[in-house]
Structure 1
Amino acid sequence: MGIELFDIEDAAEGDLRSVHGVMLAAQAVDRPDEVPVTFEALVGSMRTPPAGFGPRRYWVARRDGGIVAVAFVNLPDAENSHLALVTITVHPDLRRNGIGTAFLRDLLPRLEGRTVVEGWEITSGGAGEHWATSVGFRVVNTMVLQLLPVAEVDRTTWDVPVPAGYRVEDWAGAAPDAMLESFARARNALRDAPFGEIDFQAPLWTADRVREAEADLRARGVEQRVAVAVHEESGDVVGVTEVEVRPHRPHWASQRETSVLHAHRGHGLGRCVKAHMARRLTADRPDIDRFYTTTSADNTHMIRVNEAIGYRTVRTQVSVKQDVVVLTLGGTQ
């Protein structure tokens, strides 16, 4: 078996089709409740991966010339420059042959000095979790994947009044200059949310960092929508929800962060801005047919907020982590 870096931009179509075959076969076994990923959607997602997690590298494992496994490796920066986010997918027909373990061992020295590896969005109780724990990872968080199917939802659940003393505003793309500083501060409320024992830290937002992130999304062709709760007395942004619509799946809305500053919690602002976002985005983009989001299983409040506006839980997922040195030694420490 040979392992090699995979250049998504220069890859031959035959290799891209092989990667799609591996991912599609794995999805059918590991996440049968999902809509099967199309070739175009997979390649699009690989060329435009989610923002905020650093550059992404792709690796493939070949056996007898054919691609049998794929690795996605994100290398975050700033607060997370010690961390590598790794997902290894082996074709289901070839599992339990040591391919995933050999792939991981080969990748570890190629992680550019990162000291901790984390893996996310692993189906709870599935083959991926069993493999990860067998090679030395430990489970450090549990998440729920929630789906809001637009055609099936009762839209009256989106008729949430704005609490007294606040107003809701929204925008697409760049935040208004007048709100930029308080918007950055409000986004930092996410750092209080429960995420188990994962090492990944939410960004420490500043006005400059917000502008950099907005520019990155524009460069990726991602449509960013934001709804905020504004405290009337101070004029400050105190609650935020953000949604992304990515070019490879233009009918899906990815619900990203929702946060409310601690001093303004207890008024229902999280539900208010999320409901406003659902109404506004579907009015502007009637082609949107679903929203999806992940929430820590410990964050029972946000799960209830999501359910109140039509989300339903479709799968439980786990996150795993381990030090590179422990994995290198075979998970024996």
Structure 2
Amino acid sequence: MVAEVTVELFDPRGAVEADLVGCHRVMAEWWRVDKRDLPALSYTECVNRLCTPFPGFGEEVRWLARRGGEVVGLATIDLLEAESSHIGLTEIVVDPRVRRQGIGTAVLRALLPELRDRGRHLVEGWQLTVGGDGPEWARTRGFTTVGTVLMQALEFAGADPARWDVPVPAGYRTRRWRGAAPEELVESYALARQAIHDAPLGGLGYRQPDWTVPRVREREAELRSAGVEHRVVVAVHEATGVVAGSTELEVLPDDLDWGYQRETAVVAAHRGRGLGRCVKAEMIRWLLADRPTFTRVQTTTGAANTPMQRVNAQLGFTTTRTMVAVNSGIDVLEATLARL
């Protein structure tokens, strides 16, 4: 007889070591099966990830699934804020060695009342690996695929530095900073960040932030508080002095040799001049000048965003994993689970 699955709220910051070891076992197997492009997940890195909410994603709530006393799965909900405060961004992880035994379904059942109590009516997941178990499991539980995302990486070992020797287009200059935008640029920087709203999001419920100067300053303060190194490179239009394009990169406190390439946006009136490639290339040169031991930069790109894929390919990024995003209303999920 198979033991019953129990699901409970979990605070990793106050957890006993046995539970953290169990979480590492589950997550390490998950990475080995579904994230083969990444280095093996160490125990220390796993615990750091569990204990450190991802900046900008709101309050984070975790659950643990046990069977016969053994940790067999875990789940995370990020309670997105502002424009996306109707969404519970959800990730359910089951040890690949015990999948297809109802564990993920038990976890989903346990999460839905909490999501409803928190005022969330849309459940969304962003990174289900194509070719893995996740997409089909999600489909049969009531989720709909709403987009495809590419995980892309630039590995510095063996890369050709000539790819990053990109001149600044005529009529523009670049500026760069860590942490906080200069006062003389912050207003036009906020406006330039609005250009990311043109990026195709498919059927995602997520909405890009409405970037204003207070919103930029709030985001900068949040990253500083989390110990994140935040780098920005912008292209400034010389005739007007306004920011025409930007890119940002984050290095989390425990990621000592790699960084996350975040949003790159070019204002519509300045597109077609190579500004996106220019600012991303300068970011790479700047990063390596300061941190020559860095091994890679990682980013996600929408499968429908062919212009950014082209820029990334020119700089040496390759696609390491293809993922789908899914979502569903809570009512649909509850009705589907009731039939299982």
Contact 1:142/1:317 (8 A) holds in 2: yes
Distance in 1, Cα, partners of 2:45 & 2:251: 13
What are the residue-to-residue correspondences of 1:219-258 with 2, within 5 Å? 219-258=225-264
* 1:300 pairs with one of 303, 306, 310: 306
1:85 partner amino acid? L
* 2:103 pairs with one of 91, 94, 99: 99
* 1:38 pairs with one of 32, 37, 42: 42
Q: Deviations over 1:151-206 (max 9, x none)?
A: 22101111111011100111111111111111111111111101211110111111
1:181 partner amino acid? E
State the partner residue of 1:280.
Answer: 286
SS of 2:126's equivalent in the other structure is strand
SS of 1:14's equivalent in the other structure is helix
* 2:126 pairs with one of 120, 130, 137: 120
* 1:321 pairs with one of 323, 327, 338: 327
Distance in 1, Cα, partners of 2:314 & 2:337: 42
TM-score (ref. length: structure 1): 0.98
Contact 2:7/2:106 (8 A) holds in 1: no
1:52 partner amino acid? G
Distance in 1, Cα, partners of 2:120 & 2:269: 37
Contact 2:56/2:222 (8 A) holds in 1: no
Q: Deviations over 1:200-226 (max 9, x none)?
A: 011111111111111111111110000
- State the 1:92 CA deviation: 1.2
* 2:27 pairs with one of 3, 23, 26: 23
Q: Does 1:48 align with 2:57?
A: no
Distance in 1, Cα, partners of 2:270 & 2:264: 14
- State the 1:332 CA deviation: 8.7
Contact 1:57/1:73 (8 A) holds in 2: yes
State the partner residue of 2:202.
Answer: 196
Distance in 2, Cα, partners of 1:13 & 1:248: 20
State the partner residue of 1:11.
Answer: 15
Distance in 2, Cα, partners of 1:180 & 1:39: 40
**Alpha carbons of 1:331 and 1:106: their partners in 2 closer, same or farther (altered >3 Å)?**
closer
* 1:132 pairs with one of 109, 130, 138: 138
TM-score (ref. length: structure 2): 0.96
Distance in 1, Cα, partners of 2:240 & 2:325: 39
Distance in 2, Cα, partners of 1:281 & 1:33: 22
CA RMSD of aligned residues (A): 1.3
Name structure 2 gaps, 5 residues minimum: none
* 2:91 pairs with one of 87, 90, 100: 87
Moved runs in structure 1, 4+ residues, more than 4 A?
A: none
1:97 partner amino acid? Q
Q: Does 1:68 align with 2:72?
A: yes
- State the 1:331 CA deviation: 6.3
Identity of aligned residues (%): 50
Name structure 1 gaps, 5 residues minimum: none
